């Protein structure tokens, strides 16, 4: 489970490989955009009767070569309440189709003794 500590910056790097031998990097230039969101873990039924996970915060996403980095500033991390949430990562291909690069994964927001400000 990933962890975000309130009051601290947070980054998570993902190196995308084409094989398991750790040498064949994936060409991510086929993606024009990346989007990541943290949402509440418990889903609620909306007015149309569809279960939805409420958006908590948009996560900044950057790509350099075959590495995708998700990050939050100190202020963004501090704005989160302690608890468990879901995070995902989606890429938009050059042809306009979406691809889930990180399926919804549990993420925990915690307090720690040392707070930086």
- Mean pLDDT computed over 64-84: 95
Distance, in Å, from the CA atom of 5 to the CA atom of 82, rounded to the nearest integer, reads 9
Please tell me the predicted confidence (pLDDT) of residue 15: 87
What are the chain's domains?
A: 2-110 (2.60.40)
pLDDT digits (tens, 9 = 90+) for 52-61: 999 999 999 9
Q: Angle 47-52-54 (CA atoms, 0-180°, nearest 5)? A: 105
Neighbours of 68 (CB within 10 A): 23
């Amino acid at each position: 489970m990933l962890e975000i500590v309130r009051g601290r910056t947070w980054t998570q790097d993902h190196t995308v490989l084409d094989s398991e031998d750790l040498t064949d990097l994936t060409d991510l230039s086929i993606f024009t955009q990346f989007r990541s969101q943290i949402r509440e873990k418990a889903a609620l039924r909306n007015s149309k009767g569809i279960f939805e996970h409420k958006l908590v915060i948009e996560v900044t996403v950057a790509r350099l070569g075959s590495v995708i980095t998700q990050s939050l500033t100190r202020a963004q991390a501090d704005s989160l309440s302690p608890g468990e949430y879901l995070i995902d990562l989606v890429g938009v291909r050059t042809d306009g189709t979406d691809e889930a690069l990180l399926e919804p994964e549990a993420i925990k927001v915690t307090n720690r003794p040392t707070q930086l400000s």
